Amino acid sequence: PSGALFRRGAPLPDAVRPGSGGAGGSGRVVVVGAGNVGMIAAMRLADADRFSEVVLVDIDEGRAAGVALDLTHTAALGGFDTRIRGVGTVEEAGQADYVVITAGKPRTPGMSRSDLISTNAAIVGDVASRVARTSPRAVIVVVTNPLDEMTQHAWTSSGFPSERVLGMAGVLDTARFQALTALTGVARADRIQAWALGSHGEEMVIPLSQATADGRPLRDAVPAAELDAIVDRARGSGAEVVGLLKSGSAFMAPGMSAARMVLAMARDSGEVMPSAVLAHGQYGIRDVYVGLPARLGRGGLQEIVELDLEQDELAALRTAADRIRERLAELAAA
Ligand code: LMR
């Protein structure tokens, strides 16, 4: 920011640069789908000032262009120098370093995420193969539901190494668990440490053996029945929002979660985030995408981190992987 609002040479107040990653950036992120989730993801990515360009892609080119222009108008407000474009095709977006796929249909009240599988597989498969041609070195982050199955589908459709195709759900589900736990007053949400693993759905696993609040075991701080209720509510949070909105699904937390993953990679942070990744024997799971703790770096997945889970937590994680595998088999057979 410059001009009348700020004295030349004066340091910028921190508030001017929320989430700033530095003065300007490099590289391009493409966000496919300029719906609500894509819009929030693009806003956070632009605002971070980490990339030189954020491109929104939507089959409704006017929507993509409109959101891009609206976001461009926030540059001085957000204190960023990111260029933002909106286009109609992945090809027009150009070669990207990171691609966030949000395209697809959201569920409506009463539907499960799995009900979207064949509709969204057609969309995600097409997008992923276009991304592979346009941006052969990109890292793909899938947001479309049903998340785990769509991530695996994007992996096979792109032909990318699995390290470069990740699914965003664990970051979202963990954030929900943190927020809901914070409502008990035990600690601030960002002082609660937890992992939401397994599937983004009924088989979500939040291993309480690993959860802490202000550094102490959460199980010592919150009664068991209350914790179980929080886990259940976190598992059903997507549906809870869908039920309230009546049309469309959650977008604030999903969009912010996707941006958070991309920024962790772009900053080469080595942060461990729960992500849908292809397991290669970790936790006794093989050859299926499932939510696991993943160390993220510039090129995508660096390693799957193995936590010391209790037996029932491990069993629940394996059940989640089995259910995802079954749904993928049903998709392949359809
Ligand atoms: C969410 O968890 O908010 C998303 O997966 C959208 C949905 O359908 O619940």
Q: What is the share, in percent, of the chain residues with pLDDT greater than 90? A: 92
The residue ranges of the chain whose pLDDT is under 50 are 1-22
Is residue 248 a contact partner of residue 145, using CB atoms and an 8 Å limit?
A: no
> What torsion, rounded to 10 degrees, do the Cα atoms 91, 100, 330, 303 define?
120
- pLDDT given at position 24: 62
The atom of ligand 1 lying closest to the CA of 237 is: 2
- pLDDT given at position 11: 39
- pLDDT given at position 25: 83
Least Cα distance to 150 among 117, 126, 119, 173 occurs for 117
Pocket test for ligand 1, best of 108, 249, 252, 257 (most atoms within 8 A of CB): 249
- Give the Cβ contact number of residue 57 at 10 Å: 29
- pLDDT given at position 16: 34
Is residue 219 a contact partner of residue 181, using CB atoms and an 8 Å limit?
A: no
Q: How far apart are CA 223 and CA 203, in angstroms?
A: 23
Least Cα distance to 253 among 174, 182, 194, 193 occurs for 174
- Residues in contact with ligand 1 by the CB-under-6-Å rule are 106-107, 113, 145, 200, 238-239, 241-242, 249-250, 254
ipTM score assigned to the predicted complex: 0.99
- pLDDT given at position 21: 41
Angle at 40 between CA 302 and CA 121, to 5 degrees: 65
